[in-house]
Structure 1
Amino acid sequence: MFYDVLVIGAGQAGLAMGYYLKQTKLSFLILDKESAIGESWKKRYDSLTLFTPRSYSSLPGLTLNGEEKIYPTKDEITDYLSLYANTFSLPIQLDTTVKRVDKEDHFLLHTTKGVYHCRNVIIATGPFQKPFIPEFSHYLSENILQVHSSKYKNPSQINEGTTLVVGGGNSGAQIAVELSHSKEVYLSVGHQMRFLPQDIGSKSIFWWFDKLGVYRANVHSKVGQYIKNKPDPIFGFELKTQLKNRSVILKPRVTSADNSQVFFNDGSSIEVSNVIWSTGFKSDFSFIHISSVLNEKGLPIHQRGVTKVKGLFFLGLAWQNSRGSALLQGVGTDAKYIVEKLI
């Protein structure tokens, strides 16, 4: 069957796109490699909570149920995304991995379930595709438990002994705090951490961001460039408290490893039994076999998700247009914009 639009990815970006496509007369299908909607959220660590409250954690057209000021869990988001897809009867085909995208006079998507043809293709796989772990991790002993934060579930999977969490983002902070209640924990961070409250007065800090225009700051604006070039702040003060009372011990950037030793850029080292790599993700768009779409680093060349190739779009990228582009509350704005550009 020939479609007007094929969307790759049924995460928050793909679902938001589906919501706006439903309001057109275009034929479309959303393809996803997972076996269920919200599966990527379901796989995350058990205690994960968003740093945006419910009032800033909804996709267009359907509000996330519950007290607006409360911070939702990952299971709530999993259920919400499934409800979202069902509420709007979005055409989604699961268990379908897109292995290659080509273009002739139209687009061809080669998948694990055959070849699909379309006039437009929207790549909504998001920015978190391939877990990144430094190469020198291979120098650690086989006896050391190593796990990327995307595979971490809870403290029960961690061996006895010292645990090192590498990475100073919000996930690394949450995991370090959780483990510090029962383990000896070190946290390696390569930059100066900034802590912001989750609430100011009776309002979420994201309410203040919204009022000040920070949340919607365009990537090309002075405010947008300033925020983009700064490491993300840690929301909440739990980690700050644990650092102060030495329940979590702060270390600088990891530089190398050998057997059970991990070395840092200040010349110090520690012996570890566990390492949790909260070191982020790399984008992987190698399945796109069309020229002028990716730069020399393999990243999309686009203006607000619109590429130089007619009919090819991206959605859900970090800073695609603003700070909110890769967040639940912000991705809908970009989705609406792209729908208006479809041919």
Structure 2
Amino acid sequence: MVYHLGKSDMKQYETNILIIGAGQAGLAVAYYLQSTSLSYLMLDKNERIGDSWRQRYESLTLFTSRAFSALPGVALDGDPNGYATRDEIANYFERYAQHFGFPVHLNQSIQTLEKTPTGFQATTTRGDIYSSDIVIIATGAFQEARVPQMSQDFVPAVRQFTAQSYRNPKQIPDGKVLIVGDGASGRDFANELSKTHEVLLATGRSRRLLPDRLFGKSIWWWLDKTGLLHARRDSIIGRIMQKTDPFPARGRRLQTLREKGVEVLPYLSSVNGNTVRFANGHVEQVTSVIWAVGYQDNSDWVAIPNTKDNDGNLIHEEGISPVDDLYFMGRSWQRTRGSALITGVGDDAHYLIQQIQKNRSKPTIMQGA
């Protein structure tokens, strides 16, 4: 049951497990919790399940095919070899939660998560209090867009965007647009904007793009069958994949982008006013920039000692925090290559629930108590 909580509903809730985040990671955890006797509640800051996807750029499609973009228990409709759109996957998540009747409280943003003598207490910005024995932080790997310090060296006239704030080409003013970062999102932006703007793409580390299909089958079929999709982060192949960050090309190879008029350049080395300089000494003047250089944790609300490193990154080992009864889901390379992908969260969720049951010692609170 999905609850849309209003301002007048300030209450206190108690449950065995509090899941923070109702995206793919939180939904996968809830699926496996159904088979246990543990009570649970799921919180999400958005008005609708799937809104974190609806708020991203309009042309977004997954780079995993539909056959490898479903949560456990419910298939994703459509061509299994095709790629789901932003709204398609958002609506799928919403239907998924409704199908299983998960207890989700929407419009609930956590202000503070604290450890108590008996467990945990989460206080929302509305003043609601959630007490639990166990907390699973399932806010995922893409919380807050990273913006480099050099962004402050641009003059105000240069419009700046991130992978979170960019929606469509209409936002971008006339003139040259610089896209910093050539991961999947950066290449998507370059491909889309090449139709309407002069585009500069500042690349980063060397990347190995994969063919969409190989011998008549989706590359994801091959990655699954060869075990690469399930490569452990501490394995030799896992370490190689973390360095090269391979993903399907889908018409986004650098040479293809060049043919569409995108000027591909090495990494951005400095900024001065509206002038940008690249590692090869090339200089350009731009009117806008899109930062597509990855994401970072937003963990200020986690007020529990020993949960974060000196940079504020959440500490865990395969989703298990050094703090008793605190867990994580949906982290990049949490256990395998698939951990931050829809196709991999099911395996991680199953593993995590097994660990929780193994470590569980407190009595069960009935669902809805």
The one-letter code sitting in structure 2 at the alignment partner of 1:110 is T
- 1:253 corresponds to 2:270: no
Name the counterpart of 2:105.
93
1:79 aligns to what? 91
Asked if the contact 1:12–1:81 (Cα under 8 Å) also holds between the matched residues in 2, the reply is yes
Residue 270 of structure 1: how far off its partner (Å): 0.4
Instruction: Please name the residue that 1:111 is paired with.
Output: 124
Q: Residue 230 of structure 1 aligns with which residue?
A: 244
Distance 1:150 1:235 in 2: 22
Q: 2: distance between equivalents of 1:92 and 1:322?
A: 28
Q: Which residue of 2 aligns with 1:173?
A: 187
2:210 touches 2:246 (CA, 8 Å); kept in 1? no
- Code of the residue aligned with 1:321 in structure 2: it is R
Mapping for residues 1-343 of structure 1, pairs under 5 Å: 1-105=13-117, 106-113=119-126, 114-233=128-247, 235-245=249-259, 247-342=261-356, 343=360
Q: Which amino acid aligns with 2:238?
A: G
For 1:288-308, what per-residue CA distance to the aligned partner results, in whole angstroms no more than 9, with x for missing partners? 222222222322322211122
CA–CA distance in 1 between the matches of 2:211 and 2:342? 20
Residues 198, 236 of structure 1: 8 Å contact kept: yes
Give the superposition deviation at 1:230. 2.4
The structural deviation recorded for 1:157 is 1.4
**Correspondence for 2:364:** none
Helix, strand or coil for the counterpart of 1:337? helix
Aligned to 2:10: none
Aligned partner letter, 2:43: L
CA contact (8 A) 1:169 1:234 kept: no
**Cα distance, 1:246 vs structure 2:** 5.9
CA–CA distance in 1 between the matches of 2:41 and 2:98?
14
CA contact (8 A) 1:99 1:287 kept: yes
Q: Write out per-residue CA displacement over residues 311-333 of structure 1, whole angstroms, 9 at most, x where no aligned residue.
A: 11011000000000011010011
What root-mean-square deviation, in Å, do the aligned CA atoms of Structure 1 and Structure 2 show? 1.5
1:234 positional shift? 5.4
Residue 196 of structure 1 contacts residue 237 of structure 1 at CA under 8 Å; is this kept in 2? Answer: no
TM-superposed CA distance for 1:128, in Å, is: 1.0
Give deviations 1:14-63, integer Å, cap 9, x for gaps. Answer: 11111111222211110111111100110111111111100000001111
8 Å CA contact 1:177, 1:242 repeated in 2: no
* CA–CA separation in structure 2 for the residues paired with 1:242 and 1:182: 17
The separation in 2 between residues aligned to 1:235 and 1:317, in whole angstroms, is: 23
1:88 deviates by 0.5
Gaps of at least 5 residues in structure 2 are 1-12, 361-369
Unaligned runs of 5+ in 1: none
SS of equivalent to 1:120: strand
TM-score, reference length from structure 1: 0.96
Q: How far, CA to CA, are the matches of 1:84 and 1:188 in structure 2?
A: 38
Which whole-Å deviations, capped at 9, do the CAs of 1:179-208 have from their partners, x for residues lacking one?
A: 111211110012234322111132111111
Greater Cα shift, 228-237 or 291-300: 228-237
Once superposed, which parts of structure 1, at least 4 consecutive aligned residues long, lie more than 6 Å away?
Answer: none
SS in structure 1 of the partner of residue 19 of structure 2: strand
Given that 1:8 and 1:31 are in contact with CA atoms closer than 8 Å, whether structure 2 keeps it comes out as yes
Q: Point out the more displaced range, 79-88 or 265-274.
A: 265-274
How many equivalent residue pairs?
343
Deviations 1:104-144 (A, max 9, x none): 22111121232210000000011111111112212212222
Task: Out of 282-291 and 113-122, give the one that drifted further.
Answer: 282-291
Secondary structure in 2 aligned to 1:338?
A: helix
- Whole-angstrom CA distance in 2 between matches of 1:8 and 1:249: 42
Q: 1:194 to 1:224 in 2, by over 3 A?
A: closer
SS at match of 1:100: strand
| CA distance in 2: counterparts of 1:201 and 1:12, whole angstroms | 31
Worse overlay, 62-71 or 260-269 = 260-269
Matched residue SS, 1:50: coil
Query: Which residue does the alignment assign to 2:6?
Result: none
Amino acid aligned to 2:73? G
TM-score by length of 2: 0.89
